[in-house]
Structure 1
């Protein structure tokens, strides 16, 4: 009630001041006298609009303000969540980088161990091949020596046979006596 009376008082005072201005202006110029009633109607209409629309407009702006505040709070919350998620992602990325580094080091170590093992196997294979070559060489040398001895023995026997055939009977007898003495000893 107090608001309504305040509103009416303000409206009437504004209306009266405007109407006085219009009356004064009408006396001075060519303005029609019923113009004052138009102004009063306009002022009353504006006052009525103000009275009727005050609450809905105030509620609209209040709800709009609350909506904006909620949106700002939601935006702040989303921003904080995004920052938190970003930090977590950064930590995970750092952890992944460390894991990748560890995996690379592990594979490099494994590759080096595998390389060392392969080198040792190659060295053992080379030693086996060398030993096999040595054995083959020794075997070939033995065969060659045996063949050479056989050949030399055959040639020596052939030479002795030829010499023995050319010996006289007396030389044969002497050789036989020497051979028999060598067997007795």
Structure 2
């Protein structure tokens, strides 16, 4: 795990704890010599994480769609910045470059990225660790809903267990280093009535 792809808000949210957690996460990446892979923006929590990485002399690889560059949303200090044509291309490039994935507080875009990367792990498209930085219990309602999906037979517990969860950056990264990929073929184990 040499780099972490961070999914988080393009705004900072209402609680100052979110901004502080993003800063701490970026500082931890730089200190542990883990490159940052992110959406290339300078706004919101994305910008806070990137600023902290750069302040700590860390490496960063931003991926940003051209329309966001035109709106002057690109971070000016990215070590590398890849401009792509679409949001789909952005997610694919970020996933390819990352050694693991972490979601911080964010909105619909953050959840979209998180769920896509969880789906890819479930389907064995990748075997990289996935983490949630659960700042002040931000993800607790989501985790409760995911447990509901398990109870209702729509998600397997093994797939939910792929998520590493902590409220401290160093603890979360340590858990992610212990990640073991899923075994077996998820699709091949489905019975016709489950498909």
TM-score by length of 2: 0.19
Question: Hey, which of these two has a bigger chunk of helix by percent?
Answer: 1
Q: Which has the higher contact order (CA 8 A, sep 6+)?
A: 2
The structure in which a higher percent of residues are strand is 2
Larger Rg: 1
Report the TM-score, using the length of structure 1 for normalisation: 0.19
